[in-house]
Amino acid sequence: MPDADTFTEPAEPVTGWGRTAPTVARVLRPRSYEEAAEAVRACGARGGIARGLGRAYGDAAQNAGGDVLDMTALARIRSIDAEAGVVVCDAGVSLHRLMEVLLPLGWFVPVTPGTRYVTVGGAIGADIHGKNHHVSGSFGRHVRAFDLLTADGTIRTVVPGTDLFDATTGGMGLTGVILSATVQLLPVETSLMSVDTERAADLDDLMARLTANDHGYRYSVAWIDLLARGAATGRAVLTRGDHAPYDALPRRARRDPLAFRPGRLPAAPALLPEGLLSRATVGLFNELWYRKAPRHRTGELQRLSAFFHPLDGVPHWNRVYGRGGFVQYQFVVGYGREDTLRRIVRRIARRGCPSFLAVLKRFGEGDPGWLSFPMPGWTLALDIPAGLSGLGTFLDELDEEVAGAGGRVYLAKDSRLRPDALRAMYPRLPDFLALRAELDPRAVFTSDLSRRLSL
């Protein structure tokens, strides 16, 4: 059995996609399940944490002074049942790779977030959600089983309906290292989307449109202008759709209806001027974006990549926020708590947070993961430059509003939540901590997030 030094590199900086708090760790790169188990057994006093493609926004896949297990070399698709739509793959396989392989067979991933460059292991560990949560729930709902490497170096097959499954889906890698997974897929006839777009005049108009018609769409999301004030507060562009049927395609597209050809633009420059995303520049962008959107358009055919992952077309788009990086803040409050959502949107608008990546969605039935983020209600996500004056205090105040309304903040995007706020937001946290203490009494699986939040 190899020792950990055979697949390690010197300690190196590791950061989340928001680039706000890099720390230094020894990065291990296992090439087999056996090497992953040896790496776990060899973790030192600071423990280790699994990492995929680094798209968690905060510090969930960092481990200052300890080990980080880069799982991307474990990326085999082990089997595909093209009749039943079931794939068995290593945890390091990306959703992008699954789309490349499965779309020509008439299958699509059941849930995708705003980027396809996340691994299956990361999708389970964060219990990711997408534009279809109101219909399909989060990723864990479509996982039939996964193999989990636990702190004692053994591999367990974990299935839905068990405590270990519910602790791991959304558990941010703290119950073990996911090695492989069996996932149920979604059948599709084409690789195009049929999309309806409309403008909403304000937040109440937006919520009314979503409430009235979301049941008629598999996918639904609204870009929201968080700098608009007065009568236009919360104005938005609402985009909804479903996978286009074969009969909806023009003749030329029918020649290769399942082609997957995502576009790609030049990468964002490594160095950009500080202050590029000011209130003035973002306000101008938001005004132009809202005005150019159609008042009402139906049945537009779009590529999958344009509908689901527009930012993936710009490699390293996170650089536009400059050296200081950015904070993505995402929260959910339940139905019946619309006044809390209105109050928070007004506060953000008054504060002048320069956010051009802000989206509002509706969640459906909650998922069984003990630390899974979605719950029935409204979820708002926004990106904010980390250097904005007074940002920490402002977001702490929003945390209090969210927790007071029975809502929660998304751990996969968090980089600054306080432990007391976490405990108020996640009622199953005591169950998670008890199982984690039993399964991993030495806290082998540790991250910057777990230390910050006393998990």
Q: What is the pLDDT of residues 379-436, one digit of tens each?
A: 999 999 999 999 999 999 999 999 999 999 999 999 999 999 999 999 999 999 999 9
> Would you place residue 265 in the very low, low, confident or very high pLDDT band (cuts 50, 70, 90)?
low
User: What is the torsion angle, in degrees rounded to the nearest 10, for the CA atoms of residue 37, residue 41, residue 42 and residue 47?
Assistant: 100
Q: What pLDDT is recorded for position 356?
A: 86
The residue-averaged pLDDT of 269-283 equals 73
Give the per-residue pLDDT at 5.
Answer: 47
Q: Residue 54: pLDDT above 50? A: yes
Residue 4, pLDDT above cutoff 50: no
| The two three-digit tokens of residue 82, written as one number | 């093209």
366 CB neighbour count, 10 Å cutoff = 17
Distance CA 350, CA 108 (A): 41
Quick one: average pLDDT of 277-295? 89
In tens, the pLDDT along 348-359 reads 999 999 998 999
Least confidently predicted of 220-224, 274-278, 435-439: 274-278
- Each residue's pLDDT tens digit, 405-417: 999 999 999 999 9
Residue given tokens 């004056």 in the structure block: 389
The backbone torsions φ and ψ at residue 301, rounded to the nearest 5 degrees and listed phi first, read -90, 125
Q: Which two tokens stand for residue 378?
A: 């409204």
The count of other CB atoms within 10 Å of the CB of residue 424 is 18
CA separation for the pair 133, 323 (Å, rounded): 34
Q: Is the pLDDT of residue 37 over 80?
A: yes
Q: How many whole angstroms separate alpha carbon 381 and alpha carbon 57?
A: 12
Pairing of strands 86-90, 177-184: antiparallel
CA distance 48 to 80: 32
Name the token pair of 347: 């506060």
Q: Residue 301: pLDDT above 90?
A: yes
Alpha-carbon gap, residue 363 to 220, rounded angstroms: 10
Q: What's the pLDDT at 1?
A: 40
Among 223-237, 270-284, 412-426, whose mean pLDDT is lowest? 270-284
Q: CA–CA separation, 146 vs 433, rounded Å?
A: 21
What is the SS3 assignment for 79? strand
More confident residue, 262 or 9: 262
In the predicted model, what is the mean pLDDT of the chain?
94
Q: What is the pLDDT of residue 2?
A: 46
Write down the pLDDT at residue 281: 87
For residue 272, name the pLDDT band (cuts at 50, 70, 90): low
Which token pair is 184?
A: 């149920």
Closest alpha carbon to 382 in 116, 202, 114: 114
201 close to 235: Cβ distance less than 8 angstroms = yes
Tell me the three-class secondary structure of the chain, residue by residue. Answer: CCCHHHHECCCEEECCCCCCCCEEEEEECCCCHHHHHHHHHCCCCCCEEEECCCCCCCCCCCCCCCEEEECCCCCCEEEEECCCCEEEEECCCEHHHHHHHHHHHCEECCCCCCCCCCEHHHHHHCCCCCCCHHHHCCHHHHEEEEEEECCCCCEEEECCCCHHHHHHCCCCCCCCEEEEEEEECEECCCCEEEEEEEEECCHHHHHHHHHHHHHHCCEEEEEECCCCCHHHCCCEEEEEEEECCHHHCCCHHHHCCCCCCCCCCCCCCCCCCCCCCCHHHHHHHHHHHHHHCCCEEEEEEEEHHHHHCHHHHCCCHHHHHCCCCEEEEEEEEECCCHHHHHHHHHHHHHHCCCCCCEEEEEECCCCCCCCCCCCCEEEEEEEEECCCCCHHHHHHHHHHHHHHCCCEECHHHCCCCCHHHHHHHCCCHHHHHHHHHHHCCCCCECCHHHHHHCC
pLDDT of residue 274: 58
For residues 285-322, one letter each, b for 16 or more C-beta atoms within 10 angstroms of the residue's C-beta and e for the rest, the string is ebeeebeebeeeeeebbbbbbbbbbeebeeeebbbbbb
Burial class (CB within 10 angstroms; exposed 0-12, middle 13-18, buried 19+) of 376 = middle
Residue 391: Cβ-neighbour burial (10 angstroms; 0-12, 13-18, 19+): middle
- Reported as a single tens digit per residue, the pLDDT across 78-124 is 999 999 999 999 999 999 999 999 999 999 999 999 999 999 999 99
Residue 3 has pLDDT above 60, yes or no: no
pLDDT of residue 9: 59
Q: What is the pLDDT of residue 271?
A: 58
CB atoms within 10 A of CB 8: 16
Determine the average pLDDT of the residues in 278-302: 92
Compute how many other C-beta atoms are within 10 angstroms of the C-beta atom of residue 127: 30
pLDDT for the residue numbered 7: 46
Q: Residues 135-187: pLDDT tens digits?
A: 999 999 999 999 999 999 999 999 999 999 999 999 999 999 999 999 999 99
Give start and end residues of each alpha helix (H) in 199-243.
203-213
- Separation between Cα atoms, residue 215 and residue 347, nearest integer Å: 30
